[in-house]
Structures are given as C-alpha cells and as structure tokens.
Amino acid sequence: MRVLIALRELGVSFEYIEEDLRGRERSDLVLRMNPVHRMVPILIHRGRPICNSINILEYIDEVWGHLHAEAGGTQLLPADPLERASARFWADFVDHKVFNTEMMLFKSNGDDQKEAAKGELIRQLRQLEGALGDKNFFSGNEFGFLDIVVIPLSMSQADAVGEAVQGEGERQEYSSR
C-alpha cells in the first residue's frame, strides 16, 4: 500500500502486479527479484529490484521526488537533513515498535495479553501523536514520507484498539516499472 501511495502521489506511472500471499509459495518473479526475504513489496526499476517498503519510498523520492517538486509539488522526504532524520526515526519506530505491538495484539491469547498489548499500542500511538503535534501532516503542511508510512497502520489500528481485531492482510503490492 505504501509503495502505491508514493508512486501515485508523485505521479509516477507503473505496472502493478498482485502477489497472492495466502499460500506459502511465491511466484517466480518474487523469488527471482527478492531471493533473500521472498517478500513483497518489490519495486523493479530499470530491471533491478528495490525491496522493503521504507527503502522503496526513499528510492522513489530520490528518483522522482525532485521532478514532482519542479512541477509545483513536494518531495516525500523533507529537504532539511534534521527533519529527514526525524522522519526516518519515526518510520523505524512505526515499523519496528508499533507494527510488532500490533502483531502481538492480533496474536494474543487471552484477555490479559490482549489488554497488555492494547495498552502498549495506545502508548506508542500517543508517542507518534506527540511527534505530529498540531500539524496537519508529519512534515508540516504537506503530505509526505511519514504520512505514507503511517497510513496502513492507521487503517487497522482503530479496529485493533476498538476490540474488533482483524487478521493479517492477505495481499501486498508489487510494483514494476
């Protein structure tokens, strides 16, 4: 989802290929393009794979962000190096802390585990909310990198914290250009 949002936000044309993640087998294309992790998303640009959604978002911004900015838009990552470092820090927080806590909540056995995971998730979301502050977007007035990172989590977090816990998604994106 992150990759699709970033590509569309910057107006990059691409071909989308869906990978069915319900089974254990992966397509030959995924095995060839990401033989180490055998996972999606994968962006193929000029015949070479870029793997991991955060890496892909940064790559998309480096390759196409300046073109979008020249046309009057903004790049995904902030121009200021300190702000970029902060955005990367919070993206890592989302992927390694919030996501793991979300998985603990989804996989919890019993009310005590579920309540502990829910409490930790709420604490982490409050930390993330503190980083947002009173801004419309994490990078200020413009939609960007960290907003894209948070979107997939925000779609499932509300249900998870509100008791309606959903299972893991069955589909991921695979983008090719």
Domains of the chain from N-terminus onward: 1-75 (3.40.30.10), 77-176 (1.20.1050.10)
Q: Tell me how far apart the alpha carbons of residues 148 and 1 are, in angstroms, rounded to a whole number.
A: 9
Closest CA to 9 of 86, 79, 74: 74
**Close Cβ partners of 87 (under 8 Å, ≥ 6 residues apart):** 77, 78, 138, 139, 144, 145, 146
Closest CA to 86 of 139, 130, 153: 139
**Residue type present at position 82:** L
DSSP collapsed to 3 states, 35-65:
CCCCCCCEEEECCEEEECHHHHHHHHHHHHH
Confidence tier at 85 by pLDDT (50, 70, 90)? very high
The mean-pLDDT minimum among 1-10, 40-49, 154-163 falls in: 154-163
Q: Tell me how far apart the alpha carbons of residues 46 and 160 are, in angstroms, rounded to a whole number.
A: 39
Confidence tier at 155 by pLDDT (50, 70, 90)? low
What is the value of pTM for the model shown? 0.82
